[in-house]
Amino acid sequence: MKSTLIIGYGNPDRQDDGAAWYILNALASHFGCEEIPSTDEGLEPNDCSPAFIFSLQLVPELAETISKYDRVCFVDAHTENIADEIQFIEINAAFQRSPLTHHMTPQTALSIAETLYNRCPKSILCSIRGYEFGFDSQLSARTKELADQAVQKIIAWVEES
């Protein structure tokens, strides 16, 4: 099996923004791994196959870790600005400017890995539509349904190698 890293990011205390954390834990359970902490406890992957990292946001420091894998899956929540409720697309390295100083895209993370380490793993983005973003740690019913569907798509992607 190709080495695979799954990076989830978002805020589990803001309802559907925590979809990635929910998905990572469902995947960890499926692959027999320990639960993924909901807080930033460093940016090193766990000792599982596939490996998992959860972070509140993508940061440049992830580039070195990303460069060590053959494949990377980024998991996040989105709002209605993306037409599909589950976006499951291949992505490539591309530096993207952001008007927000604390926001980095998966494409930019790949671009940094490619620039600094001359490695750009095959990557996908799995983005799930969020509907509720209040202060709660539970996903909305609709986003939970979508997250469960996304788990199955990611499992199939991981196992296709």
**Confidence check: pLDDT of 10 > 60:** yes
**Confidence check: pLDDT of 43 > 80:** no
> Which structural domain, as residue segments, surrounds residue 92?
4-159
pLDDT band at 104 (very low <50, low <70, confident <90, very high): confident
How many domains are contained in the chain? 1
For residue 73, what are its two tokens?
A: 């899956």
CATH number at residue 148: 3.40.50.1450
pLDDT in tens, 44-78: 788 889 999 999 999 999 999 999 999 999 999 99
For residue 20, what are its two tokens?
A: 């990635």
pLDDT of res. 15 = 95
pLDDT band at 79 (very low <50, low <70, confident <90, very high): confident
* Listed range (40-54, 82-96, 132-146) with the worst mean pLDDT: 40-54
**Confidence check: pLDDT of 96 > 90:** no
pLDDT in tens, 123-132: 999 999 999 9
pLDDT of res. 45 = 82
